[in-house]
Amino acid sequence: MSSDRTRPRQLSRRQFLSGAAAAGGIAAGGSTLASILAACGASSSHPASSTSAAITMAVYQEPDTLDPGATGLITVGMIDLCIFDPLIWRLSINGTTRFYPGLASSWQVSPDATTYTFKLRSDVKFHDGTPLDASAVKATFDHIANPATKSRSAAGDLGPYQETRVLDPHTAQIVFKQPNASFLDEVASIDFGISSPTALARYGSDYGHHPVGTGPFRFKEYVVGQHVTVERNPEYRWGPAPIRSGPPLLSQVTFRILSDPGARFDALQTGEIQIAPNLNPQDIAKLRGNPQYSLYKISSTGMPWVIMVNAQKPPTDDLNVRRALEYATDKEAIIKTLYFGLHTAADQTFTPTTPGYNPAIKNMYPHDPQKAGQLLDAAGWTMGSGGIRTKNGQPLQLNFINIAGYGFDGISELMQSQFRQVGIQVSISDQSFPAVADTYNSGAQHLADFFYYDVSPYFVRSIYGCDQIAHGFNWEHYCNPELDSLVDQANATVDSSKRDAMYQEASKIIQQAAVIIPIYNSDGLFVASSHLKGLHFTVNAFPLLHGASY
């Protein structure tokens, strides 16, 4: 989900990692316990870990809202993991990914995947003192489905929602209009963190500034443009058992908003922050081998970092032009130049760890400027004397609207140069998130940038659905009823192997349409003080601070 703000024109990465987007995003990941690439012990001058310790974590996006059911940003997902709990957890422990009890102690799924029944714990209270019960679950899901909430991620991930039934005070049943096989994965994400029904009713449209959950930390304050602070919930006893079920060890966590990766790097070095995501690759390289820091790399599921191509705005409404852009893009050069080989090149709408990844289309568009030129010739765009192609007296010009501070700055500039080599002129402008979403939805751009973390391939419904063009994440403005039908059919298929095969076909359709240019596969990259211990990560590469100490 996935996202951020303004920044000087330098190598940034709306994270050097995250969608957010998820987004947009907001969205999901691949390996739960971090792969620690470099880690050393704390210095002897540092005090022993205690429950009085507080830490500061940098985030790269200004929150759009702290309401998990409404947000579309990855940064908010990271914050909300402190404030809220899901009904169930999906964690990867020692290389094995499975579901664990959360607010629900047990659950059942109907054979046709239309009905999900959750038996709730009876000892949970929200931060405002409201007891957790089935009515709270109903209020949360009805809130997400309500158009007035303007949900950016959760509503799309919810799928064909019909209703939540209160079977008894501690049994909630979520019912769908048709089979929804992706829901068990999706409900384990923080997008579906359960909110206090008392707070939802009290704050209404302003709930995003007054979030109330059941999580290990309670919301304390949000100072726009500066930070969000949460404090320990001493009553917490229902956390994810493999990590920590009791109250957190940290007394307070401050999420400091630093959109510029250089500023995050500086703050990490001065000790102002203890953990930072998405630093510039060259800064990460400087810290490797330094015993004061630990580097975490977490493979993520969902959509890679991509460039979205507007399929309705001329001249990119022409398939030959879109395919020419694919062949003109040298993603290996981009990764080598900007990311020091930290990432692998992407080739489709799914990362390799995402169910539905299609190895058969891995090399559909190899870098081939000559092929790009041939396609542009076929589309009637002939090379002009100034090195820019023209058609009917008009130059071939594209408008690339870049999300400020999102981490695509260097990518957009290198692509501008690569496209220029085949006769395409590209102008780059920046807009900040979330306002840029309105621009993208209006279709003002030829090229947009995005990535999306998600635990299920069903996210393609939010990215490519015909009904997601005006208000969702379909910034390609690509409408293909055949694709929509296939995705809906996949989501209604309980057999996972058959479902994955359908998503593989969906991935092929998307790449054949050339409405995204995949750049590199998403990895969560975090650098932390080596004094910070006990970090875990969700399958969507979000840090879990339940058992962290400093």
Neighbours of 474 (CB within 10 A): 23
pLDDT tens, position by position, for the chain (550 residues)? 433 222 223 333 223 233 333 333 323 333 333 334 433 333 333 334 455 799 999 999 899 999 999 998 889 999 999 999 999 999 988 888 899 999 999 999 999 999 999 999 999 999 999 999 999 999 999 999 999 999 988 998 898 999 999 999 999 999 999 999 999 999 999 999 999 999 999 999 999 999 999 999 999 999 999 999 999 999 999 999 999 999 999 999 999 999 999 999 999 999 999 999 989 888 998 888 899 999 998 888 899 999 999 999 999 999 999 999 999 999 999 999 998 878 899 999 999 989 899 999 999 999 999 999 999 999 999 999 899 999 999 999 999 999 987 789 999 999 999 999 999 999 999 998 778 999 999 999 999 999 988 888 999 998 999 999 988 899 999 999 999 999 999 999 988 899 999 999 999 999 999 999 999 998 888 999 999 999 999 988 899 999 999 9
Amino acid (1-letter code) at residue 41 = G
Q: Can you list the positions of beta strands (E) in 282-420?
A: 293-299, 302-309, 382-383, 389-391, 394-395, 397-403
pTM: 0.78
Name the token pair of 122: 């009876």
Write the secondary structure of 401-465 as one string of H (helix), E (strand) and C (coil).
EEECCCCCHHHHHHHHHHHHCCCCEEEEEEECCCHHHHHHHHCCCCEEEEEEECCCHHHHHHHHC
Neighbours of 392 (CB within 10 A): 6
The dihedrals phi and psi of 308, each to the nearest 5 degrees, come to -90, 135
User: What CATH class does 88-205 carry?
Assistant: alpha beta
Q: Would you state the pLDDT for residue 72?
A: 85
What's the chain's length in residues?
Answer: 550
Q: Would you state the pLDDT for residue 51?
A: 57
Residue identified by tokens 């829901």 is 183
> CA-CA distance, 405 to 264, in Å (whole number)?
12
Domain with CATH 3.90.76.10 in the chain: 88-205
Bridge partners (DSSP) of residue 173 are: 117, 165
* Residue 92, burial from CB neighbour count under 10 angstroms (0-12, 13-18, 19+): buried
Name the token pair of 247: 């109250």
Contact predicate 141/158, CB 8 Å: yes
User: Under the phi-then-psi rule, with left for phi > 0, alpha for psi from -120 to 50, and beta for the rest, what region is 443?
Assistant: left
Write the secondary structure of 184-198 as one string of H (helix), E (strand) and C (coil).
HHHHCCHHHCCCCHH
Q: Would you state the pLDDT for residue 471?
A: 83
Strands 104-109 and 115-120: antiparallel
* Residue 254, burial from CB neighbour count under 10 angstroms (0-12, 13-18, 19+): buried
Domain with CATH 3.40.190.10 in the chain: 35-83+215-301+526-544
Contact predicate 105/117, CB 8 Å: no
Q: Would you state the pLDDT for residue 24?
A: 30
Helix (H, G, I), strand (E, B) or coil at 5: coil
Name the token pair of 416: 């501008």
CATH number of 35-83+215-301+526-544: 3.40.190.10
Domain with CATH 3.10.105.10 in the chain: 306-521
CATH number of 306-521: 3.10.105.10
